Amino acid sequence: MRAWVVHRAGPIDTYPLALVGRPDPEPGPGQVRLRVEVCGVCRTDLHLAEGDLPPRHPDVVPGHEIVGRVDARGPGATRFDIGARVGIAWLRHTCGVCAYCRRGDENLCVAPRFTGWDDDGGYAEFAVVEESFAYRLPNDFPDEQAAPLLCSGIIGYRALRRSGLRPGGRLGGYGFGASAHHAAQIALHGDAAVHVMTRSAEARRLALDLGCASAGDAFDAPPEPLDAAILFAPVGELVPVAMRALDRGGTLSVAGIHLTDVPQLVYADELFEEKSITSTTANTRRDGEELLELATRVPLHVHTVPYAFDAAAEALRDLAHDRITGAAVLKVRTG
Ligand SMILES: [Zn+2]
Ligand SMILES: [Zn+2]
């Protein structure tokens, strides 16, 4: 099969990815193999390519928003029929026995495996996964729209929940990429007033089109105090900015897997009055099932920017340079 690999992690303009030939992966016990149709492009792929996330093994295939059709089943795999349309997401294995797994917080598992980091992902013609970590996908979303739900959708949903926003509350979103545009729509569905702060003028336009109450520049103050904020941009300098924008008792939820260093906080303005800050670490399978169900109910409008499979490196460069509004997706299957 043809696959993109992280060959030499480094700045995206130094071409860290290479397109290579690989043997097709064989599904092991309890696993299914997908013929990949579409794979979403996530900022985590960029962190991996640039070495912000140290690669877990050489020449790993990135990509963890995978939509495909089951074309082979390993021994004992019975959950999906051959031909079934399923999704593979970031979390692909948990130990099931650590204290966090046992109490239902499998996103905090001490021995997890992640797609496109520990094991090969979906920038390739085939991908395998344990069937218990695969997702059935809602019929109303074509492949291209379903893919971004599998990470940016799920993480946006979890980050929103961790922000503690109540129905009708005031939410601030810092950064407006794929994950933010899902979270904003879910918040709007709950009658929230959503304020977006982002340096991209095109993203500000998309935010207003989706019904957000205001859209300002990245470091601007929102027009009213916030009950909750979510930091989507991987920019630690925005933490104090967002904390100052919170009303008493407000929470800042940091959505990313990687963040530049956070400057010193000023207690009186940025933490006192019971403000909180929290992070989002992966997701549980239940988060995934809930988001996919919610996606139909809202319904989520998934704004995608398609790229040919051969243009994966270009997609990551465009993401790095803020040239993508919405969610980039690779069209892996051509025939
Ligand atoms: Zn565990
Ligand atoms: Zn992701």
* 93 CA → ligand 1 middle, Å: 9
* 99 CA → ligand 2 middle, Å: 25
In this structure, are residues 156 and 165 in contact, taking their beta carbons and an 8 Å threshold? no
pLDDT in tens, 293-302: 999 999 999 9
Closest ligand by atom to 91 CA: 2
User: Which residue shows structure tokens 């340079």?
Assistant: 321
pLDDT band at 16 (very low <50, low <70, confident <90, very high): very high
pLDDT in tens, 260-277: 999 999 999 999 999 999
In this structure, are residues 174 and 218 in contact, taking their beta carbons and an 8 Å threshold? yes
- DSSP 8-state assignment for residue 52: S
In this structure, are residues 287 and 156 in contact, taking their beta carbons and an 8 Å threshold? no
Which protein residues have a CB closer than 5 Å to ligand 1 (ion)? 94-95, 98, 101, 109
In this structure, are residues 316 and 17 in contact, taking their beta carbons and an 8 Å threshold? yes
pLDDT in tens, 71-120: 999 999 999 999 999 999 999 999 999 999 999 999 999 999 999 999 99
Closest ligand by atom to 104 CA: 1
For residue 55, what pLDDT is reported?
A: 84
Q: Specify the 3-state DSSP secondary structure of 73.
A: strand
For residue 257, what pLDDT is reported?
A: 86
Residues 6+ positions from 288 with CB-CB distance below 8 Å: 89, 135, 150, 154
Q: Specify the 3-state DSSP secondary structure of 189.
A: helix
* 230 CA → ligand 2 middle, Å: 16
pTM: 0.94
Nearest to 57 by CA among 110, 120, 140, 106: 120
Q: How far apart are CA 164 and CA 317, in angstroms?
A: 34
In this structure, are residues 32 and 74 in contact, taking their beta carbons and an 8 Å threshold? yes
**What are the structural domains of the chain?**
2-141+302-331 (3.90.180.10), 153-279 (3.40.50.720)
Q: At what angle do helices 154-162 and 285-297 cross, to 10 degrees?
A: 100
Q: Compute the half-sphere exposure of residue 144: CA atoms within 13 Å on the CB side of its CA.
A: 15
Which protein residues have a CB closer than 5 Å to ligand 2 (ion)? 42, 44, 151
Q: How far apart are CA 234 and CA 179, in angstroms?
A: 12
Mean pLDDT of the chain: 96
For residue 322, what pLDDT is reported?
A: 87
Task: Say if residue 57's pLDDT is above 90.
Answer: no
pLDDT in tens, 197-222: 999 999 999 999 999 999 999 999 99
Task: Say if residue 162's pLDDT is above 80.
Answer: yes
* 269 CA → ligand 2 middle, Å: 33
* 142 CA → ligand 1 middle, Å: 33
Q: How far apart are CA 169 and CA 159, in angstroms?
A: 15
**Per-residue 3-state assignment (H helix, E strand, C coil) for 126-165:** EEEEEHHHEEECCCCCCHHHHHHHHHHHHHHHHHHHHCCC
- DSSP 8-state assignment for residue 180: H
pLDDT band at 160 (very low <50, low <70, confident <90, very high): very high
* 223 CA → ligand 2 middle, Å: 30
In this structure, are residues 59 and 123 in contact, taking their beta carbons and an 8 Å threshold? no
* 234 CA → ligand 2 middle, Å: 13
Residue 296 belongs to what H/E stretch?
helix 285-297
